[in-house]
Amino acid sequence: MRKLSLLILGVAIGAGSATMVSQTALLSSGAVAASADTYRQLSLFGDVFEKVRTDYVEKPEESKLVESAINGMLTSLDPHSSYMDPKSFRDMQVQTRGEFGGLGIEVTMEEGLVKVVTPIDETPASRAGIMANDVITHIDNEPVQGLNLNQAVDKMRGPVNSSVTLKIQRKEAKDPIEVKLTRETIKVRPVRARVEGDIGVLRVTQFNEQTYDNLRTSIEKLTSDIGADKVAGFVIDLRNNPGGLLDQAIMVSDAFLDRGEIVSTRSRNAEDTQRFTAKAGDLAKGKPIVVLVNGGSASASEIVAGALQDHKRATVLGTRSFGKGSVQTIIPLGGNGAVRLTTARYYTPSGRSIQAKGIEPDIEVLQDIPEELKGKDETKGEAGLRGHLSNGGEKEERGGSSAYVPPDPTKDKQLLAAYDLLHGVRKGAANTTTPTPN
């Protein structure tokens, strides 16, 4: 069986050249014949490349031509396979780790300037008094105007213990505020927890290396704050969670299961099928669980929702999920970036493929969509992506659904329905009957 680090939604580090060597050693005579024809096609590519290099109206950047050709090959396979140049690969690794050298502010771009969404507690930004809605106009005396958001974020990130100076415009202040900050290790919080009466709410925003540890700590704190004997249940909010690491999705699912299969991954070779099973131990101690999903819940989110749904461990509520049921492996290319390659489909414990179908909620609850957002709240879903993988033999495909979540929790019909369910209908949500996997 190949030893590959499998990823969901194209993140994390995978296998290297050892896999390629073992595949080459197994070439049959038919495969050799196919290779000869392939090399003739590669010769054609070389001829075209040479013509472009020598005769194009302007001198092209040759490395960019090669990168574009590689990316064209990969993107022709499916929407999730691609080439990552060295910088993109490094950025992906930072995202996967969930920690980086930085200042501790969540930002967005508004009218060409960087606007602070919120400072993260106990970081250089919060200690320096940076506030939500502050506008960053200069970074190290260089104007932000003209930079895109990623470029501005890159300038604010950097080695731990290095310094950076920000010039900030605040509504109440007449003059700009200049702040010098020393970068520290910032950990992204993939899980945000809060108490709602006797219910613990866990908002999981992504699946990076910190997710399971954050989840476990959050459940322990919520249980302590509410009182173990008073907890009515937990809401696991996976809405608009785009996914992340497969191993974290497995660990989060396992956090609420005592036994049984969590997910299986199946590639083109039957011998490469992998099955992942739960270990004993339920962090929620059998308390009822409601999982919230919508059209923005993809990949790793769907693994968790599908596993808990199939095992009758949770009630899934909301709208149909995105439908990304494929696994990407990241294959590093030395110092030349990496290839993100779709290598398998994943299946829920009952043998369902989510690919281009999504998870159908046990209870569908639609939000009240503001007039100005009607018709703009739905995602295309995997089935709406050009060149998407088929469902693996099943004909039915489903498009996207609404991904709207009201900013005001008191108007969030899905969240309020989850509260009502936990207060009024507990039987079934904690049923841990194990299905028979296919």
DSSP 102-141: E--EEEEEETTEEEEEEEPTTSHHHHTT--TT-EEEEETT
In a domain? residue 195: yes
Tokens of residue 101, six digits: 């050298």
Residue 150: φ, ψ to 5°: -60, -40
Q: Is the pLDDT assigned to residue 257 strictly greater than 90?
A: yes
Which residue range forms the structural domain that includes residue 394?
191-423
Please give the C-alpha separations between residue 179 and each of 106, 193, 432, in angstroms, as whole numbers: 17, 31, 54
Catalytic option among 78, 247, 264, 324: 324
Taking Cα atoms as reference points, which of 82, 100, 81, 83 lies closest to residue 91?
100
Q: Is the pLDDT assigned to residue 148 strictly greater than 90?
A: no
174 counts as catalytic: no
5 within 8 A of 14, measured Cβ to Cβ: yes
Q: Is the pLDDT assigned to residue 394 strictly greater than 50?
A: yes
Q: What pLDDT shows up at residue 287?
A: 97
Do 169 and 276 lie in one domain? The reply is no
In a domain? residue 317: yes
Mean of per-residue pLDDT scores for the chain: 86
Q: Which stretch of 79-93, 254-268, 401-415 has the lowest confidence by average pLDDT?
A: 79-93
Do 122 and 215 lie in one domain? The reply is no
Q: What pLDDT shows up at residue 425?
A: 53
Q: What pLDDT shows up at residue 5?
A: 32
Residue reference for tokens 């179908």: 357
pLDDT classification of 34: cutoffs 50, 70, 90: low
Do 249 and 269 lie in one domain? The reply is yes
pLDDT per residue as tens digits for the range 112-144? 778 888 888 789 998 999 998 899 999 999 999
Number of domains, the chain: 2
Write the CATH number for 165: 2.30.42.10
Q: Is the pLDDT assigned to residue 10 strictly greater than 60?
A: no
Q: Which stretch of 5-19, 233-247, 355-369, 405-419 has the lowest confidence by average pLDDT?
A: 5-19
pLDDT per residue as tens digits for the range 299-355? 999 999 999 999 999 999 999 999 999 999 999 998 889 999 999 999 999 999 999
Q: Is the pLDDT assigned to residue 156 strictly greater than 50?
A: yes
H or E element, residue 164? strand 163-169
pLDDT classification of 420: cutoffs 50, 70, 90: very high
Question: Can you tell me the mean pLDDT for 212-239?
Answer: 97
Q: List, as one string, the DSSP characters of 251-296.
A: HHHHTT-SSSEEEEEE-SSGGG-EEEE--S--TTTT--EEEEE-TT
Taking Cα atoms as reference points, which of 230, 281, 263 lies closest to residue 422?
230
Catalytic option among 134, 310, 377, 412: 310
Question: Can you tell me the mean pLDDT for 25-46?
Answer: 67
Please give the C-alpha separations between residue 421 and each of 106, 196, 279, 406, 429, in angstroms, as whole numbers: 33, 14, 28, 19, 9
> Which residues are bridge partners to 290 per DSSP?
235, 315
Write the CATH number for 322: 3.90.226.10
In a domain? residue 58: no
272 counts as catalytic: no
47 counts as catalytic: no
Q: Is the pLDDT assigned to residue 393 strictly greater than 70?
A: no
Q: Measured between alpha carbons, how far is 237 from 370 in angstroms, rounded to an integer?
A: 21
In a domain? residue 27: no
Q: What pLDDT shows up at residue 217?
A: 97
Residue reference for tokens 């940076």: 130
Q: What pLDDT shows up at residue 128?
A: 92
Q: What pLDDT shows up at residue 189?
A: 86
Question: Can you tell me the mean pLDDT for 161-177?
Answer: 90
Q: Is the pLDDT assigned to residue 89 strictly greater than 60?
A: yes
Q: Looking at residue 207, what DSSP letter applies?
A: B
